[in-house]
Amino acid sequence: MAPTTIAPFPYVADNEPKVHLVEGFNNTFSPNRKFVVISLLEDLPSTESHVMHVIFYNGVGLLGGQGVLKLYDRRYARSIREVNGTTTAAPREADNAYLSFVRQGKMTVFRSALEHIYKTAPVRPRASEFLDTQRYGGPEADRVARFEAAAWYENNKRFKTELKAYKQLKPFQGDKIPRLLAHIRIPYPIIYKRPQENGDEQWDEFFCVHGLLLEYIPGPKLGRWPKPTFAPTTLEAAIQSAIDSINDINNLGVLVEKSTNNVIMKNKDNNDQILPLDSQKPFIVDFAKAVLRDDLYEIVITGLPTSALLATEYLSARLKHAYEEKANEFNESFAGDLEEIIRET
């Protein structure tokens, strides 16, 4: 489709949307607060969700502080939307096809089908596969809508995973990972800049955009942090600190996709290179693609015969092995990233 068919990007600097506060954390907002005003400052680099540096307000004119707003909007879900190696935002025509698909009541049934497919498929499917009517069936007329629906489903799963991971990792918030400040929701009228149709309220789950407001950690990603002036011991200590944090996170039942893009080195107060490592603290971010131990166990159990489920000792060993195997898979990828950093420094 021609670029002119792409809908205007709604999340731009200087906008101040009033968003719904679904749940606040770490005493950031009063318990009775229902809305939050957020001022968008700038986009932040991200390979997946749309991420922004923001200012938020606790009340009328009361500055709450700076934060990072991570939005889970299927229209800008980056890699989820990849088709034949190319990623694009949702064109107007595709967006309208999705809205119509939802309003016809098809999305509720299709979501149930997606849940079954994603749980039982030997290889996790991609949203683009639902463009192929031969693979999963369905009318040709709905193929684009099914792609958008699958993008919503996968994006929503990532949102739920990240929210659950932050809650599960609460002991590490503010120390090894950013603090979770709020779960927010952007309603349909703000997203689309147009009125809802009659009956749209019942489809809000599929139309709204969820987001997480997180503590802002100023600093570069680990891959861009080292400088030629750093002593080798400084780099080694920082890398080991990041590895230790990730291992601690793993031990709490959250396996993070290990990448230097998921490690932020918090800025020091000044440029003095002899400051202790504590002032160069690594923070682990981005849990949207994490593997939660409970979810992994459920997947393993789903694929086992009943006889295996009744053999409790075997089942316990099988689940533990599956978790360790996935952890090793992530560790190997991270080790390659770290070796490249060391070579380039």
Residue whose structure tokens are 């400051």: 275
Return the pLDDT at 311: 65
> What's the rounded Cα separation, in Å, for the pair 243 and 260?
11
Q: Which of 85-89, 193-197, 215-219 is predicted most confidently? A: 215-219
Q: Which two tokens stand for residue 144?
A: 């684009």
Q: Which of 137-151, 164-178, 239-253 is predicted most confidently? A: 164-178
Report phi then psi at 151, rounded to 5: -65, -40
Return the pLDDT at 275: 45
pLDDT in tens, 6-34: 666 778 777 788 899 999 999 999 888 99
Residue 313 has pLDDT above 80, yes or no: no
Return the pLDDT at 15: 79
Residue 283 has pLDDT above 50, yes or no: yes
Q: Which two tokens stand for residue 104?
A: 């016809």
Q: Which of 59-68, 170-179, 247-256, 320-329 is predicted most confidently? A: 170-179
Give the range among 22-31, 112-121, 273-282, 290-299 with minimum mean pLDDT: 273-282
Query: Which of 344, 338, 340 is closest to 238 using CA atoms?
Result: 338
Q: Does domain 3-76+157-215 have CATH number 1.20.58?
A: no
Average pLDDT over residues 248-257: 90
Q: Which two tokens stand for residue 327?
A: 């952890």
Give residue 277's pLDDT band: very low, low, confident or very high (50, 70, 90): very low
- Who wins on pLDDT, 329 or 307? 329
Each domain of the chain, given as residue ranges in start order, spans 3-76+157-215, 84-156, 222-344
Q: How far is CA 147 from CA 10, 83, 118, 156, 331, in A?
A: 21, 10, 14, 14, 32
Give residue 137's pLDDT band: very low, low, confident or very high (50, 70, 90): confident
Check if the beta carbon of residue 90 is closer than 8 Å to that of residue 148: yes
Would you mind telling me the total number of residues written for the chain in this entry?
Answer: 345
Q: b/e string for 207-243 if b means 16 or more Cβ within 10 A?
A: bbbbbbbbbbbebeebbebbeeeeeeebbeebbebbb
Average pLDDT over residues 308-331: 76
What percent of the chain stands above pLDDT 70? 84
Give the range among 25-34, 155-164, 209-218, 223-232 with minimum mean pLDDT: 223-232
- Who wins on pLDDT, 236 or 193? 236
Residue 271 has pLDDT above 60, yes or no: no
Give residue 58's pLDDT band: very low, low, confident or very high (50, 70, 90): confident
Return the pLDDT at 78: 85
Return the pLDDT at 344: 62
The per-residue DSSP string of 37-98 comes to EEEEEEEE--SSSEEEEEEEEEETTEEEEEEEEEEE-GGG-GGGG-BTTB--PPBHHHHHHH
pTM: 0.86
3-class state of residue 186 by DSSP: strand
Query: Which of 227, 217, 216, 220 is closest to 260 using CA atoms?
Result: 220
- Who wins on pLDDT, 124 or 208? 208
Average pLDDT over residues 72-95: 89
What percent of the chain stands above pLDDT 90? 39
Residue 181 has pLDDT above 60, yes or no: yes
Return the pLDDT at 274: 46
Return the pLDDT at 9: 72
Residue 4 has pLDDT above 50, yes or no: no
- Who wins on pLDDT, 304 or 191? 191
